[in-house]
């Protein structure tokens, strides 16, 4: 059985709601044996719709983090959870970016001080600075390719 799309399951949920609405209308307008036969037909139709919905919905991927389920169960909006999560990730990224920039500055300052203290190591220090700078550029290019923007 091919996995169903969320849109197909959404349509089936709408069908179940429609079946429930028809049962409600038939119950409200009860007119004897004809209505009873119609109710039996509608309830049978509802049971079939629910069975199809259950089968198709169980084939959907269910990779929802438990934190979101708990969030929704406590009556909170999952969009707020997403916004808070994105803000937390942005703060973490800003912290790591600042830390990376501080370490880059320290690396450069250390290299300069090492060359002042040991001029004979200038070539080695330059090679280390150049290779670490090249690695940093490669990491930034990966970030640009992944995110589409530079950090």
pLDDT band at 71 (very low <50, low <70, confident <90, very high): confident
Task: Say if CB 72 and CB 82 are below 8 A apart.
Answer: no
| Cα dist from 55 to 20, 44, 51, 64, whole Å | 19, 17, 6, 19
Residue 57's pLDDT is what? 82
Per-residue pLDDT, averaged over 130-145, amounts to 66
Q: What's the pTM?
A: 0.45
pLDDT in tens, 82-101: 899 899 999 999 999 999 89
- Has residue 150 got a pLDDT over 60? no
Residue 82's pLDDT is what? 87
Point out the least confidently predicted range of 18-32, 40-54, 62-76, 133-147.
Answer: 133-147
- Has residue 118 got a pLDDT over 60? yes
What's the mean pLDDT when you consider all of the chain?
84
Tell me, what DSSP letter sits at residue 29?
Answer: T
More confident residue, 94 or 147: 94
């Amino acid at each position: 059985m091919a996995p169903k799309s969320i849109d197909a399951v959404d349509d089936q949920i709408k069908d179940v709601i429609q079946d429930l609405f028809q049962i409600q209308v038939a119950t409200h307008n009860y007119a004897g044996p004809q209505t009873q036969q119609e109710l039996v037909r509608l309830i049978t139709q509802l049971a079939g719709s629910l069975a199809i919905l259950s089968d198709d919905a169980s084939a959907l991927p269910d990779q929802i983090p438990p934190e979101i389920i708990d969030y929704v169960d406590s009556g909170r909006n999952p969009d707020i959870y997403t916004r808070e999560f994105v803000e937390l990730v942005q703060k973490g990224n800003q912290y790591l970016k600042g830390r990376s920039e501080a370490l880059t500055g320290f690396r450069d300052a250390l290299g300069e001080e090492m060359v002042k203290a040991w001029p004979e190591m200038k070539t080695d220090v330059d090679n280390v600075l150049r290779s670490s700078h090249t690695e940093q550029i490669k990491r930034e290019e990966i970030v640009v390719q992944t995110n589409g923007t530079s950090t």
